[in-house]
Amino acid sequence: MTDQANTAAGGSEQWTAPAQASSRRVPRAFWIGLIVISGASAIGWFWTQSRGEVEVGRALPVVAQIPDFSLIERDGRTVTRADLLGRVWVADFIFTACTGPCPMLTLRMRSLQSSLGDAERDVRLVSFSLDPETDTPAVLGRYAKRYQADPRRWWFLTSDSRERMHEFVKKGFLQAVSPATMGQPLIHSTRFVLVGRKGYIRAWYDGLDPKSKPLILRDLQSLLSEPAG
């Protein structure tokens, strides 16, 4: 694997947030909600950890199958679950207007992209927009370009319904989402989800933890060695 990409400001690629993002004022309600969301997501994480998921050379558990979906990529084409079968992929959940953790998550996804070489050509990175009414394909296209997302490797998916997308994330990925209200912004899981070739969730990772990257890269290799059929 290689890790040759630079950050937007130059220098080596790191799992750090851009300075402009960290300087923004984030509502207290966001962080309170994020603690609650993280606690809910942690249930699944501790479940997998208790099954030996942190051991080197382990066999990753088969957790749950991602249901069928039909979403729109930033280039306007339709992407379904079938397009990802036979590939190993990493999902995260963002929205382009986010002033909380999303810039950090996207930078870290970009860092994963930079570490994938030709040997990992069957790996895809997939970012799901949690605000599809705002995040049209054109908006996602500009966002993806800002983060140097390779369209062959890293997809950004949106929908025509915020409610259906939130339900898909909660039931399909077992990740929590709380829609925006008058009192709080949209709050969502900051976990990365690793999905195997047959469309099953195999592991979760804390997207805000800098120690997650080597674990993800190691587990990608483990899943790539499994048969596609």
For the segment 111-164, what is each residue's pLDDT rounded down to a tens digit? 999 999 888 899 999 999 999 999 999 999 999 999 999 999 999 999 999 999
**pLDDT recorded at residue 118:** 86
Domain for residue 202, yes or no? yes
User: Which stretch of DSSP H or E encloses residue 30?
Assistant: helix 28-49
* Measured distance CA(121)–CA(213) in Å, rounded: 18
Domain for residue 2, yes or no? no
* Measured distance CA(68)–CA(72) in Å, rounded: 14
Number of domains in the chain: 1
pLDDT, average across residues 84-105: 95
**pLDDT recorded at residue 27:** 53
Domain for residue 11, yes or no? no
Domain for residue 98, yes or no? yes
* Measured distance CA(156)–CA(127) in Å, rounded: 5
* Measured distance CA(146)–CA(153) in Å, rounded: 15
pLDDT in tens, 166-190: 999 999 999 998 888 877 888 899 9
Which domain, by its residues, includes 181?
Answer: 25-224
Closest by CA to 121, choosing from 83, 78, 157, 89, is 89
CATH number at residue 90: 3.40.30.10
Residue type present at position 160? D
Domain for residue 35, yes or no? yes
Domain for residue 41, yes or no? yes
* Measured distance CA(214)–CA(218) in Å, rounded: 6
pLDDT in tens, 21-54: 333 445 555 444 554 444 444 444 444 343 333 3
Judged on CB neighbours under 10 Å (0-12, 13-18, 19+), 44 is buried
Domain for residue 16, yes or no? no
* Measured distance CA(71)–CA(88) in Å, rounded: 18
